[in-house]
Amino acid sequence: MTKTLIMIGAGLETVPAIIKAKALGLRVVAVDADPNAPGYAHADEAVAGCVYTPQISVDALAAWARRGGRPDGVMCAAVDAPHTVAAVAEYFGLRAASRETAALATDKLAMKARLAARGIPVPWYQAVSGPQELAEIIAARPGTLIVKPVDSRGARGVLRLVPGSPRTPSPREAYDAAAKESPTGRVMVEAYLDGPQVSTEGLCVEGTPYTPGFSDRNYEFLDRFAPSVIENGGELPSVLAPDVRQAVKDLTGRAALALGIDHGVYKGDMVVHQGKPYVIEIAARLSGGYFCTHEIPWNTGVRFVEQAIRLAVGEVPQAADLTPVHDRGVAQRYLFAPTGTIARIEGVEQARAVAGVRLVELRVRPGARIEGVTSHPARAGVVMAVADSRDEAVAAAEEAVSRVVFVSEPHP
């Protein structure tokens, strides 16, 4: 009998996961609030729910079930919606991250409190009640700080406060920017730890973590977009020493287990500070940015999303299926459009013609009004390249980026 997978979210970056599920012979029911969600074109059924409002999705899927629908699994990819996955799983009696785990994974204060209590190294952090308290913290801690909303995503409202920098906002500006992006109006501050930052991704199978995904994150534009913290892709394989990589992977797995992810997917934002790994954040979902769908299989040969889907519908991936078989070079870079109204975009086909380039995807079109880049959704597109070595992949991606030109006009 054909199994049915509920996919929470049907956005652009979820499409590859839906296509993979279909290729595995599954029936896919996609849930999204957008009637024009691109994933709907690839799914078998569309259900009008809400990615970030669990009860709306549960109610919509309950109505679907009354019409004869019966799911075998539920998951999300490229959307931070483990709380909705957990609610749907609980309603239908499916196995997924629990509501408690989902709450920990989407509340950065609760997450860090749990990790610290379990002995997992995290940067110093503190809740902030208002601009005055933030000013007092800044005065008491002379190093660089990160102010962020407790429960948002995509770098929205995340600001880097560098002592003495003319681009550092006032405590009032920083607090208000973060609070605006928090659904609950909560703000936190944490120490900025210098050192290489890493994206990891893996899954736990009956309490055993596997972390095949490992990418060095690229933050070359910290000054350009200051005080916002904007990532410009990444590259694989990592330049970190093998023992450091293993320490980061081990810590990611321990952190996932500490949050209760003992049979499911996880992604980690990690930093290696003075030779020691720390957890910045752990998510209970598949990543966005095509890391899980493209970069991990290109780099390692591990069909990671396929294994995550199998796990979601009750199958048990084997260790061999999660073990890298090669270590090819992969690079990702983002496209950024200048402030103004885009008149035309040139050089896209020339970028696609660069040897090694696998993907050139635009997120804006002529007529789009660009106000500035203050979060990851504001990036104008993405380029990805594959080669025998990391350096060759980076060179190809950056060559492709250089060929794409956004011609803009000033706003009226």
pLDDT at 1: 81
DSSP, collapsed to helix, strand or coil, labels residue 350 as: helix
pLDDT (tens place) for every residue of the chain, 412 residues total: 899 999 999 999 999 999 999 999 999 999 999 999 999 999 999 999 999 999 999 999 999 999 999 999 999 999 999 999 999 999 999 999 999 999 999 999 999 999 999 999 999 999 999 999 999 999 999 899 999 999 999 999 999 999 999 999 999 999 999 999 999 999 999 999 999 999 999 999 999 999 999 999 999 999 999 999 999 999 999 999 999 999 999 999 999 999 999 999 999 999 999 999 999 999 999 999 999 999 999 999 999 999 999 999 999 999 999 999 999 999 999 999 999 999 999 999 999 999 999 999 999 999 999 998 999 999 999 999 999 999 999 999 999 999 999 999 987 7
- Taking only Cα atoms into account, the Rg of the chain, rounded to an integer number of angstroms, comes to 21
Q: Facing residues of 77 across strands?
A: 286
Among 341, 273, 284, smallest CA distance to 111 is for 284
385 phi/psi in degrees, rounded to 5: -135, 155
What does 8-60 look like in DSSP terms, one character per residue?
Answer: E--SGGGHHHHHHHHHTT-EEEEEES-TT-GGGGTSSEEEE--TT-HHHHHHH
Please report the pLDDT score of residue 123 as a whole number.
98
Please spell the DSSP secondary structure of 260-298, one letter per residue: T-SSEEEEEEEEEETTEEEEEEEESSB-STTIIIIIHHH
375: DSSP letter: S
CA distance 246 to 269: 15
All structural domains of the chain: 4-96 (3.40.50.20), 124-191 (3.30.1490.20), 194-326 (3.30.470.20), 331-409 (3.90.600)
- Which residues pair with residue 309 across a beta bridge? none
pTM of the predicted structure, to 2 decimals: 0.96
User: Is residue 291 within 8 Å of 13, Cβ to Cβ?
Assistant: no
